[in-house]
Chain A
């Protein structure tokens, strides 16, 4: 009997060894596999390229933030395919080597090592707060410009993160702009504001700055509540908040927790005007919160696909060439598109110096880049890696975000 048990173990061991051998061979050919897929769209223009610029992509498709990470990644891929079909940048083809890291930092670390050592990428399009934070020292040492969808204020520190760029208003700037808007539009006395956030680097990022700015411009922060990102109940926090009776509450959460807060607030009959920062805003919130979302104000850093904007024309052109429509896409797709577009502009300004350092210099030359309304115009400089502090605000009306301000700052 004992021997019967041993044999499957042996077979398993052999299988695992075999898998290892297969993959060892496989990993050497995967670049060829990846790029041949991407070439298909632009095979006619194949011979015209002067060379290739490799860009690494850390995507979250399957991880905790996959719901928003997937369209964002598709947006980046779409733009790269679009620009290559237009002849690339300065005659160079952009090759985006995107991989899913499942929102796991050790995974991101391994992919980063691969991008740096094996693929020799010149820039990286990252994703979350965790991976951006974990890699910011390494990209600085290896001189690889890094764009991500984490708009954390400490990435602005050029001494510590010389190769990180913020392509939209940082969370702190968003909060400041919202506070400024509250101050300008509030009627009757000093506005009272509450802050609702989660106890993570993402959640706590804008809080200190928001409090300091509020004190500066004369807005009272009357309450702070912590609601977990995965919370399904926020009643006790909202009851505590209700005692302070704030006029406004700024939410720094993702869709799930925001929907929980809005639904519980409706149940408890709270009259406070809720204002969410950019990750609380988006199409995904509406089905979760349903009619509780009505009247919710969200910070919009990137345009919705249903908006009529000049920049939307090329997105539409690309999607139509693929037999898709704008209606099937969401705001995170546009966000990815815009991020890749800003990087492409940096590569264009870098000219023929396509090293990481060259591209950094190129990005730093970007002045008031017009994104056709898809996002606020961005400007970078050698000592300023925050592209903009401008945002728009949108209110949910009849189950749809309707933008009601122009780009505003503080």
Chain B
């Protein structure tokens, strides 16, 4: 019998177009279409609760792709993601409530404003690397949150601001399903954009900067331009995720954008896989669902072992930490690499060598 996992035999590329294709094998392409189709009908099959969770995962995935462009592909660490989400959320809140703009205008503007703010805080990245850059972006986190919670006349201070769900042609996206589709379309756009970005000159320049910035500069890449550009592109998507989240929860307040959020996003790309677009999505889903899954697991177990719940409540943080350490030790390239390993394993099965 033909090994069902082997599909790269006898594959020839006759044109540059075929060589550049995102998915080079027809079967893989069909699989991608099938996955997209599945998630397109997802809210019609599953109950509202799962649709709500999927929406949160998707929004996190958009932000994680944004962060991965910066940290995973360009090698510039940022712990200011939480605050950049806040910039996106607040921009959209201010534009829709104070200026009365429609969501469809304020939403891309939120991305652009966040991109500008991100680029501004990205300027020190020319001189700073590694830990030093981490401190500089930490400063961004602190400064932005301080501005948000003290500029009372614009942001409503610590009380936050109230937003509305967007409407499309008179139809309010107030249901979980409606918002899911909004998120879904934007997530697909983001993923396709990011995948294509790294087939372009700009994306390759990003990767060159990550691998060795001196060498990149010698090859004629304008370091300053591309580092700031990476901050801008990354922040654009983070800002878009922030605006989506703001309109989903219908409130923005400084409490929602703390440093914990930044760390959670870093954990997402770490667990998912640095420098992988699909990895960002896996990681976002993993980190978002981890507490939900653990809670479910504990509740199932406590039926058999009463009293377990109290013990496990404190253990959740431990599991979270342990998973990150395990990933760092055993699979630093994250879930994306695990998936590749799994495919490679079956490709060669049963003769591994």
Contacts and interface: CB of A to CB of B under 8 A. Distances in A.
Interface stretch (A196-204, A228-236, A268-276, A396-404): A196-204
B255 A201 contact: yes
- Top 6 nearest A-B pairs (CB, nearest first) are A26-B300, A137-B250, A113-B52, A201-B158, A117-B48, A27-B296
B342 A10 contact: yes
A62 B160 CA distance: 26
A130 interface: yes
5 contacts: A12-B338, A102-B316, A116-B48, A160-B162, A201-B159
A243 interface: no
B158 A8 contact: no
Contact of A199 (B149, B176, B300): B149
A79 B342 CA distance: 52
Contacts of A6: 341, 345
Name which of B176, B260, B313 has the most chain A CB atoms within 10 A of its CB: B313
A107 interface: yes
A142 to B, nearest CB: 9
Nearest to A11: B330
Nearest to B51: A117
Interface in A122-181: 129-130, 133-138, 141, 152, 154, 160
A201 B48 contact: no
Interface in B297-335: 297, 299-300, 302-303, 306, 313-314, 316-317, 326, 330-331, 335
Given A33-B302, A133-B159, 12 more contacts: A6-B341, A12-B330, A110-B56, A113-B56, A116-B48, A116-B52, A135-B249, A137-B162, A138-B251, A141-B174, A152-B159, A201-B255
Given A26-B299, A138-B250, A205-B158, A13 B49 contact: no
A113 B54 CA distance: 11
B317 A62 contact: yes
B264 A118 contact: no
B130 interface: no
A328 interface: no
Interface of A: 3, 5-6, 8-10, 12-13, 16, 19-20, 22-27, 29-30, 33-34, 36-37, 61-62, 99-100, 102, 104-107, 109-110, 113-114, 116-118, 129-130, 133-138, 141, 152, 154, 160, 199-201, 204-205
A134 B251 contact: yes
Nearest to B163: A137
Interface string B20-51: 00000000000000000000000000011101
A23 B296 contact: yes
B295 interface: yes
A383 B101 CA distance: 30
A196 B193 CA distance: 50
B297 A204 contact: no
B338 A106 contact: no
B256 interface: yes
B256 A105 contact: yes
Contacts of B250: 137-138, 141
Contact of B49 (A12, A99, A114, A204): A114
Interface in B42-75: 47-49, 51-53, 56
